[in-house]
Chains A and B, each alone.
Chain A
């Protein structure tokens, strides 16, 4: 794990009308880690993710990838950067008119030239990496369950072998067993493929079992960015309610 942060957010300010979402927010993501972002609903986690992805330009402040500021990058450079990223959106965002295999092939077709048969094989490999059964590859998204959709979305996110994987609430809407399996999958993938993972989550179990560090979003800022044990010990009302509540204590017990 090198010391240079792979993503740095400095003094981010975001505002919709008069509604300030982020005010002077700092965040850093280190290479090779799994970072969990937590915060109450509506604290701007998804907006922060969109800003990091370059989908939304900040109203103030700067985002750096590998030391390069987004605002200094041309559109082509940003597109090139985005090829190093895999994203699993909150609603999976699969293309509904395409089968799972075709969904996974979309980034491949767009960015690399490969023989068609090899493209099929690689898509199947990614579907397997995401933990889906072979039968799933010819199905349409509407025929999949919630958990399978997430996995299909993950397979598409992995299509170009990204350096960083961004996940927006990957385990919300999954049953606890499915969520646990998904966590394990993310952990295994990040270790075998050497991925950096940034995940937004509400799932205390994920935080305890797979996240190296946790960033807590509250009061329009990141109020903590540290390993989960240190964060849980911090003296902040929201953190105490979050980690000290019955669910938080249960999750903590399980990992002990």
Chain B
């Protein structure tokens, strides 16, 4: 009985004559990587049904052939892992086919990859949770170690201030601080406006709309000004730090620095940390001003509270300590953001994939850390009564 299969473009055909107890594979036309797809299944069926010495290949009708064609045609005779199977029995002669089949027999890596089957179910779930927890802990510990190293470097530089890289620091201050000023102010303006709207709506129902001033002043001074600043720093500067240091790491620039005798902590990390710690309070101050201005505008337009009244009321009703609470958090957040960004950058490995992963991790971890530390501050200041 003879069956046959033809490739979609009609250039290659396989006829199989499996009448008796031997099976003949007759190859017609061009057996190329682009034409052999359809022969995969019939040929593996035949390889499963007949033993190797019962199959012969008829190449008299064969046209062109490439390594993929030679592979699939002689696949039944390939033995796993380098052992040579029995000789192929061919009908007719075809120089190229014979040469390629011989090459395939010597070169094919027919070793099934030993991928251990992934265990599903509950064990895998717990394993994943465990791994996640472990890596989170390790991240935390490593970040603290990085902080320690940065502090040590800082102390060493303070003892010998000529080693401070003023150029780098000023450049970073411009990038981190001055360039971020517009976006931070605008965001904070809108946050202040939104708070004022919400307050106005709620408080007028009690006839206490004038307390909008306290609401805006308190929330912006204590929380929003500095939080907006920290989140913008994380989004803008952290990704930039991680990407810049990471790509230097990838190109072995960091190694080159070390060999030349430059300390990458001193040259790259410290200027960024100093810039962030110095600029965060200034940005936070600008954010506070903009937020209060936003609240003031809304109060003026919706509640008819004139700016002059708004300001006098702020002076009398809001003690200065709220302002200092906000400002005291800014350098801490700046430090957190800079440490996390630089550490992720220095962690990048050899490939592009890890650059992307570390940049993302930098932003996510920084925002996470900022909010957690902000909560801690809130508790501490609450207990202290400020």
A135 to B33: give the CA distance in the assembly, Å: 24
- Nearest-neighbor residue (CB-CB) of B351 within chain A: A142
Chain B 87-104, CB-CB to A under 8 Å as 1, else 0, gives 000000000100110011
Asked if B108 and A128 make an inter-chain contact with CB atoms under 8 angstroms apart, the answer reads yes
Cβ-closest chain B residue relative to A115: B40
Q: Is there an interface contact between B352 and A96, defined as CB atoms closer than 8 Å?
A: yes
* List of B residues within 8 angstroms of A117 by Cβ: 40
Task: Known contacts A96-B352, A161-B66; decide if A129 and B33 are in contact (CB<8 Å).
Answer: no
In the complex, A52→B103 CA distance in Å? 30
> CB within 8 Å of B: which residues of A?
96-97, 108, 111-115, 117-118, 121-122, 124-129, 131, 133-134, 137-138, 140-142, 158, 160-161, 192-194
Residues in B268-308 with C-beta less than 8 Å from chain A: none
CB distance from A217 to the nearest CB of B (A): 29
> What is the interface of chain B, defined by CB distance below 8 A to chain A?
32-34, 36-37, 40-41, 66-68, 71-72, 75, 96, 99-100, 103-104, 107-111, 113, 115, 349-353
How far is B107's CA from A138's CA once the two chains are assembled, in angstroms? 17
Q: Which residues of A contact B99 (CB under 8 A)?
A: 192
A121 touches which of B71, B100, B115, B351 (Cβ 8 Å): B71
Q: Which residues of B contact A108 (CB under 8 A)?
A: 33
Query: In the bound complex, do residue A112 and residue B33 qualify as a contact, i.e. CB atoms below 8 Å apart?
Result: yes
Also in contact, A128 and B67, with CB within 8 A (given A96-B352, A114-B37, A140-B351): no
A137 — which chain B residues lie within 8 A by C-beta? 109, 113
User: A129-B103, A161-B68 are known contacts. Are A124 and B96 too (CB-CB below 8 A)?
Assistant: no
Cβ contact of A128, chosen from B32, B68, B107, B352, cutoff 8 A: B107
Known: A161-B33, A193-B100. 19 other contacts (CB 8 A): A96-B352, A111-B34, A113-B37, A115-B40, A115-B41, A117-B40, A121-B75, A124-B110, A125-B67, A125-B71, A126-B67, A127-B109, A128-B107, A129-B103, A138-B115, A142-B349, A142-B350, A142-B351, A160-B33
The 7 closest A-B pairs by CB, nearest first: A161-B66, A134-B109, A142-B351, A142-B350, A128-B107, A128-B109, A114-B37
Smallest beta-carbon distance B77→chain A, Å = 14
User: Once the chains are docked, how many angstroms separate the CA of A127 from the CA of B71?
Assistant: 13
Please tell me if the beta carbons of A97 and B352 are within 8 angstroms of each other in the complex.
yes
Q: Which residue of A lies closest to B104 (CB)?
A: A125
Contact yes or no, B108 A124, CB < 8 A: yes
With a CB–CB cut-off of 8 A, which chain A residues contact B32?
Answer: 161
**Smallest CB gap from B115: residue in A:** A138
Are A141 and B37 interface neighbours, CB within 8 A?
no
Q: For residue A194, give the distance in angstroms from its CB to the closest CB of chain B.
A: 7
Given contacts A108-B33, A122-B33, A125-B68, contact A192 B103 (CB under 8 A): yes
Contacts of A193 in B (CB 8 A): 66-67, 100, 103
Q: Are A192 and B100 in contact (CB under 8 A)?
A: yes
B96 touching A194, Cβ below 8 Å: yes
29 contacts between A and B (CB under 8 A): A96-B351, A97-B352, A108-B33, A112-B33, A112-B34, A112-B37, A114-B37, A115-B37, A118-B37, A118-B72, A122-B68, A124-B109, A126-B67, A128-B109, A129-B67, A131-B107, A134-B109, A134-B111, A134-B113, A138-B115, A140-B351, A142-B349, A142-B350, A158-B67, A160-B33, A161-B67, A192-B100, A193-B66, A193-B67
A196 to B55, CA, bound (A): 34
Q: Is the CB of A97 within 8 A of B108?
A: no
- Select one of A112, A113, A125, A141 contacting B107, CB under 8 A: A125
Q: How far is the CA of A122 from the CA of B75 in the complex (A)?
A: 11
Residues of B within 8 A of A128 (CB): 107-109
Complex CA gap A142/B354 in Å reads 11
What chain B residues lie within 8 Å of A125 (beta carbons)?
A: 67-68, 71, 104, 107-109
Bound form: Cα–Cα A13–B113 in Å: 50
**Complex Cα spacing A193 to B349, Å:** 38
Q: Which of B32, B66, B71, B107 has the most CB of A within 10 A?
A: B107
CB distance from B252 to the nearest CB of A (A): 13
Residues of chain A lying within 8 A (CB to CB) of residue B36? 114, 118
Q: Which residues from A are CB-within-8-Å of B351?
A: 96-97, 140-142
| Complex Cα–Cα for A97 and B349 (A) | 13
Beta-carbon contact of A122 and B71 below 8 Å:
yes
Residues of A within 8 A of B113 (CB): 134, 137-138
